[in-house]
Amino acid sequence: MDNEVLLKMKNVHKQFPGVYALKDISFELRRGEVHALLGENGAGKSTLIKVLGGIYAANEGEIFIEGNKVNIQNVLQAQQNGIAIIHQELVLVPYMSVAENIYLGREPMKGIIVNKDKMNNDAKKLLVDYNLDFEPTTLIKNLSIAQQQMVEIIKAISFNSKILVMDEPTSSISDKEVDFLFSIMRTLQEKGVGIIYISHKMSELNEICDRVTVLRDGEYVGTKVVSETTKEELINMMVGRQLSKYYTRNYLEVGKTILSCNHLCDNNMVKDVSFEVKEREIVGFAGLVGAGRSETVKCLFGLTKDYSGDIVFLGDKKHYINAKQALKDGISLVPEDRKKEGLYLIQSVEYNTTIEVLSEFIKGIRLNKKKEGEITQEYIDLMDTKTPSLRQTVGNLSGGNQQKVLIGRWLATKPKLLILDEPTRGVDVGAKAEIYSIMNELVKEGLSIIMISSELPEIINMSDRVYVFAHGYVKGCLNHTELTQKNIMHLAAE
Amino acid sequence: MGKTNTIQSSKMKEGSYKFLKENLGIIIAFVVLYVFLAVYPPTTRAFLTSRNMFNVLRQISTNLYLACGMTMVIILGGIDLSVGSTIALSGCVAAAGVARYALPIPVAIILGLIVAILIGVFNGTVISKTTIPPFIVTLATMNIARGLAYVYTGGSPVRVVSKEWQFIGAGYIGPIPTPVVILVFVLIVTALLMNNTKFGRHMYAVGGNTQAANFSGISVSKIKFYVYAYTGLLSGLAGVVLASRMYSGQPTAGTGAEMDAIAAVVVGGTSMSGGSGKIGGTIIGALIIGFLNNGLNLMNVNSFWQYVVKGTVILLAVFIDFLRNRNK
Ligand SMILES: Nc1ncnc2c1ncn2[C@@H]1O[C@H](COP(=O)(O)OP(=O)(O)OP(=O)(O)O)[C@@H](O)[C@H]1O
Ligand SMILES: [Mg+2]
C-alpha cells in the first residue's frame, strides 16, 4: 500500500442560518485507505461529505485531488473528479426499477433510445456478483430498506471511482450484509480506492478502518491511526468527556402478561408469529433483515389491513385496523424508516414533537402555544436533541437528531407498551447510551417495551427475553441468561 | 396580568415579523403595484376612489372564499378544479329558488349552499376512498357541475327581481360591503381552522407525509373528506354572492375562477407539493391578482392581453420564490 495523498480538504468552513456546521476543517485521504469520520450527531460529518460531493457550497476552503486543486460545484463535477457518495439518506427513485436507478443519468444507449436489455443485463450481473437475490426490474419501492441500501452501495461502486464515501452504510443492514460489504471494501482498497467511512458503530473501526478523524461541534479534534488508539480515547475525543457506562439495565421482577399475540399472519411477510410481553419487560425481536419483524408489529399497531391471528392486550381481545385505535389503548410505535414513516420533514421540531399530543394544548380553537413549547422543550432535554431552536425545520437536523425527535414524539404519548423499531439507527454513542438508560428508566416506571434491532450487542444487553425471527416465523425464544451471539445467530439462520 | 399581556404582544410581534420575512417578496410586489396604480397618470384618478376600492374588494372577496379552500386543498397535496363550476350551479339553484319557487331568500341561499357542499362531499368521498388523483376527480366534477347548471337553466340566466336579494352580494353592512364582511368571517374561520385546531395540524401532516400520518394514527381519509367538503361550501358562498351581485344566477358564472384561486394560493407561497402554506400568503396573493385585474381594466388593456399579463405576473411571483428558496 503506498501512502500517496489522494484527497485533501483544506480549511473548509460552512455556515447555515443559525448553525456554524464546519469550522476550519482539514481532512486528508490516502490511496488504498479506509478513513473513518467520527463524531456525535450534528458534529458535521455529513455536511463535510456534502461539500465534497458538490451538494453544499462551502463558505471557504479548498479541495485537492491527487495534488491538483479542483472546483466542485455540483454532483456531476464531483463524479467527474472520481468521487462517488452513498448518502446517509437514501436517494433512490422509488418508482423506478433497480437497474434504472443504478444507471440513472448514464443509461446505456442504442441510438437515441435506452438499451433496456443491456441495462438490465449489466445490473443483473452486478446483483449476482454481489449475491443479491432480487431482480434488476424490481421497483425500488418494493424493496426493504436494507435491500435499498445494498442497491445504493453497488450503484456507488459501479462508478469505478477513485474516492468512495459511505455515510452510515451499515445503519440499516444486518450482520451478514455488513460482512459482505466489508469484503467488497477490502477488494476496492487493494485496487487503490480511498474510502471515507462514516459510522456510529465503534466496533467496525477495528475491523475495517486504517485511520480515523474525529469532529466535534463542527471542529476538527484530531486524526489517529486506528491500531494505535482505543475506543475509550476516541469516545473521549468525540464527546469531550468520559462515558461511564454504555448499557444501563436493571433486571426487575416482571409483572403479569399485558400482551399476547397468537398465530399472527399477514398473508405476506408474517407467516406464523406468536409472542407475549409482560409488564416491566424489554422484549427483543432479533433476526436478519426481512425476517418479518417490522411487519409483525405493523399488524399489532393496526397498520396492516388484512391480517389474521389473536391479539390480547390488557385482557381484552383486539383487532386494530388503524393506528388511532392502538394509540388510544396505549401502544406506540417508533417506525424504522424515520423519513418515510415518521417525520414531517418540512415542519418544525416543535410540530414533529407534539403531533401525537395535540389535545394537551389545543382545546377546540384555543391553542396554548406556551404549553406546546414546554412539551417540546421537555423532550428535547430528555433526548438531548441538538437543534438551534424549537422552530428549526426537522429536515435540517442531522440524521441522529432527527431520530431523537422521533423517539421524543412517541414518548410524549406516555404509552403502556412502546414498540421501538431500530431505535438507535444512526444515533451516536453518547446518545445511544442515553436511549438505553431512558429505556431502563421507563421499564422501571412500569412500561413494557418491544425492541426490534439488528444490532446484536444491543439486543443481548438490553432484553429480558428475545424472540428470534426468520422468514416470517418465530424460531425460538431466549431468556436473558441464554443470550449469546451464537445462540441468536443459530436460530436466525435456520 | 400585565406580564401575560406583554408576553402576548411580544409573541404577536414575533409572529408578524415572521410573516413579513416569509412573504417579503410578494408584499413588496403588492406595494409596488398599489403605488404604481395610485400615481400612474392614466389610472390615478379612478383608482383611489372609494367606489373603485369597494369594487376591487368585492371581487377579491369572492376569489378569496375560493382561495381559502384551495389553500387547504393544496396543502393536502391535492387540487380542486370544480370550484368555478360550483359557483355557477349553486348560484343558479339559489336564484331559481327565489325566482321560480318563490322561496324565502335565506332558504334559497341555504339551498344553493347545500348543492355546493354536495359537490364538495362527492369530491371528498371519491378522493379519500380511492387513489384516483384529485386533478382527475375534480376535472370530472367541474364538467358535470357546469353541465348541470346549463341543463337546469336551459342556458340562460335566472333573473331575480327582488331588492332584498341584492343584499348579500351588492349591499352594505354599515359602510362596508356585505361580501367583505363575509370575507372577514371566512378568513377568521379558515385561519383558526388551519392554525389553532387539531384538524389543521393533521391537515399539514397528511400533506407533508401521508405514510407518517398513518403511523401517527391520523385518519387521512377523514381529513381529505372534510377539506373538500369545506371547499365546496366556500364555492357555494362565492356562487350565491355573485348571483346576488349580478341580479341573476348565470350558468356561465365563475368560468376560470378556479385558476384565479389557484394563482392566489401559489403566488402566496403555498407549495404545490403539499405540506406547507399559510393563509396570510394567500391573502396577499389574492390582493395582487385582484388589483392587477383592476389596474388592467382601468388602463383599458385589451382583455386578450390581460391574460398574457396575468400569466406573466404569476410566473414572476413563483420565480422569485424559487430564487429565494434556492439561496437557502
Ligand atoms: N440544510 C441545513 N440547514 C441548516 N442546518 C443544517 C443543514 N444541514 C445540516 N445542518 C446542521 O449542521 C450541523 C451538522 O449536521 P450534519 O448532518 O453534518 O451532522 P452529522 O455529523 O452528519 O450527524 P449525524 O451523525 O446525526 O448524521 C447540524 O447541527 C445540523 O443541524
Ligand atoms: Mg450525518
CA–CA min distance A239, chain B (Å): 30
Task: Decide if B209 and A369 are in contact by the 8 Å CB cutoff.
Answer: no
User: A214 CB under 6 A from ligand 1?
Assistant: no
Task: Decide if A351 and B201 are in contact by the 8 Å CB cutoff.
Answer: yes
Task: Give the residue-averaged pLDDT of B87-105.
Answer: 96
Q: Which range is least confidently modeled, A39-48, A101-110, B262-271?
A: A101-110
Helix (H, G, I), strand (E, B) or coil at A403: helix
Name the more confident of B145 and A156.
B145
Task: Decide if B205 and A335 are in contact by the 8 Å CB cutoff.
Answer: no
Distance between CA atoms of B320 and B223, rounded to whole angstroms?
32
Mean pLDDT of chain A: 89
Distance between CA atoms of B239 and B87, rounded to whole angstroms?
4
- Whole-angstrom CA distances from B190 to A257, B104, B279 are 47, 29, 8
pLDDT band of residue A130 (cuts 50, 70, 90) is: confident
Tell me the per-residue pLDDT of A5-18, one tens digit each, with 9 for 90 and over: 999 999 999 998 87
User: A411 CB under 6 A from ligand 1?
Assistant: no
Contact A162, A85 (CB under 8 A): no
User: A7 CB under 6 A from ligand 1?
Assistant: no
pLDDT band of residue B271 (cuts 50, 70, 90) is: confident
Q: Is B204 on the interface with A (CB under 8 A)?
A: yes
Distance between CA atoms of A70 and B253, rounded to whole angstroms?
62
Q: Which atom of ligand 1 is nearest to the CA of A40?
A: 25
Task: Decide if A344 and B11 are in contact by the 8 Å CB cutoff.
Answer: no
Percent of chain A with pLDDT over 90: 56
As beta bridge partners, residue A272 has: A473
pLDDT band of residue B2 (cuts 50, 70, 90) is: very low
Tell me the per-residue pLDDT of A183-223, one tens digit each, with 9 for 90 and over: 888 988 998 999 999 998 888 888 899 999 999 989 999 99
Tell me the per-residue pLDDT of B182-223, one tens digit each, with 9 for 90 and over: 999 999 999 999 999 999 999 999 999 999 999 999 999 999
First to last CA, chain A: 40
Residues whose CB falls within 8 Å of the CB of residue A133, separated by 6 or more in sequence, listed in order: A127
The whole-number pLDDT of residue B4 equals 39
Task: Give the residue-averaged pLDDT of A315-328.
Answer: 92
Percent of chain B with pLDDT over 90: 71
The pick from A396, A406, A428, A434 for probing ligand 1's pocket by mutation, whose C-beta has the most ligand atoms within 8 angstroms, reads: A396
The whole-number pLDDT of residue B314 equals 81
Q: Is B163 on the interface with A (CB under 8 A)?
A: no
> Element (H or E) spanning A23, and its range?
strand A19-30
Residues whose CB falls within 8 Å of the CB of residue A188, separated by 6 or more in sequence, listed in order: A157, A164, A195
Task: Decide if B217 and A362 are in contact by the 8 Å CB cutoff.
Answer: no
Residues whose CB falls within 8 Å of the CB of residue B147, separated by 6 or more in sequence, listed in order: none
Task: Decide if A365 and B218 are in contact by the 8 Å CB cutoff.
Answer: no
The yes-or-no verdict on residue A413 having pLDDT over 80 is yes
Question: What distance lies between CA A73 and its chain's CA centroid?
Answer: 28
| Ligand 1, atom 2: closest residue by C-alpha | A396
Measure CB to CB from residue A343 to each of B202, B212, B276 and give the nearest one. B212
Distance between CA atoms of A484 and A464, rounded to whole angstroms?
13
pLDDT band of residue A160 (cuts 50, 70, 90) is: confident
In 3D, which of A346, A324, A430 has the Cα closest to residue A385? A430
Task: Give the residue-averaged pLDDT of B174-180.
Answer: 93
The yes-or-no verdict on residue A242 having pLDDT over 70 is no
The whole-number pLDDT of residue A64 equals 94
Task: Give the residue-averaged pLDDT of A406-423.
Answer: 93
Contact A52, A72 (CB under 8 A): yes
Tell me the per-residue pLDDT of B229-241, one tens digit each, with 9 for 90 and over: 999 999 999 999 9
Parallel, antiparallel, or unpaired: how do β-strands A308-313 and A316-318 relate?
antiparallel
| ipTM of the complex as predicted | 0.84
Distance between CA atoms of B250 and B242, rounded to whole angstroms?
9
The whole-number pLDDT of residue B1 equals 35
B204: which chain A residues are within 8 Å (Cβ-Cβ)? 344, 347, 351
Task: Give the residue-averaged pLDDT of B111-134.
Answer: 97
* Best to test chain A binding among B203, B209, B270 (most A CBs inside 10 Å): B209
The whole-number pLDDT of residue B13 equals 61
Distance A345 CA to ligand 2 centre (A): 15
Task: Decide if A358 and B217 are in contact by the 8 Å CB cutoff.
Answer: no
Distance between CA atoms of B148 and B140, rounded to whole angstroms?
12
CA angle B89, B94, B96 (to 5 degrees): 95
Report the chain A residue with the minimal C-alpha distance to residue B12: A369
In 3D, which of B133, B151, B131 has the Cα closest to residue B85? B151
Name the more confident of B4 and A138.
A138
The yes-or-no verdict on residue A1 having pLDDT over 80 is no
Task: Give the residue-averaged pLDDT of A66-81.
Answer: 89
Q: Is B173 on the interface with A (CB under 8 A)?
A: no
The yes-or-no verdict on residue B88 having pLDDT over 50 is yes
The whole-number pLDDT of residue B117 equals 98
Name the more confident of B39 and A112.
B39
CA–CA min distance A204, chain B (Å): 32
Distance A69 CA to ligand 2 centre (A): 26
Distance between CA atoms of B161 and B179, rounded to whole angstroms?
20
The yes-or-no verdict on residue A85 having pLDDT over 80 is yes
The yes-or-no verdict on residue A301 having pLDDT over 60 is yes
Measure CB to CB from residue A365 to each of B196, B201, B276 and give the nearest one. B196
Q: Cα dihedral angle (A143, A145, A150, A154), rounded to 10 degrees?
A: 80
Q: Which range is least confidently modeled, A354-368, B100-114, B312-326?
A: B312-326
Q: What are the grid coordinates assigned to A415, written together?
A: 404509552
Where is mean pLDDT largest: A91-105, B31-45, B100-114, B158-172?
B100-114
Which pTM does this prediction carry? 0.84
Neighbours of A227 (CB within 10 A): 10
Distance B8 CA to ligand 1 centre (A): 33
Measure CB to CB from residue A358 to each of B11, B193, B198 and give the nearest one. B198
Distance between CA atoms of A409 and A441, rounded to whole angstroms?
17
Measure CB to CB from residue A341 to each of B192, B202, B211 and give the nearest one. B211
pLDDT band of residue B3 (cuts 50, 70, 90) is: very low
Distance between CA atoms of B190 and A2, rounded to whole angstroms?
68
Alpha helices in A91-230 (DSSP H): 98-102, 116-129, 145-157, 175-190, 203-208
Parallel, antiparallel, or unpaired: how do β-strands A68-70 and A219-225 relate?
unpaired
The yes-or-no verdict on residue B8 having pLDDT over 50 is no
* Best to test chain B binding among A73, A337, A346, A353 (most B CBs inside 10 Å): A346
Parallel, antiparallel, or unpaired: how do β-strands A417-421 and A331-334 relate?
parallel
The yes-or-no verdict on residue A298 having pLDDT over 50 is yes
Name the more confident of A440 and A288.
A440
pLDDT band of residue B7 (cuts 50, 70, 90) is: very low
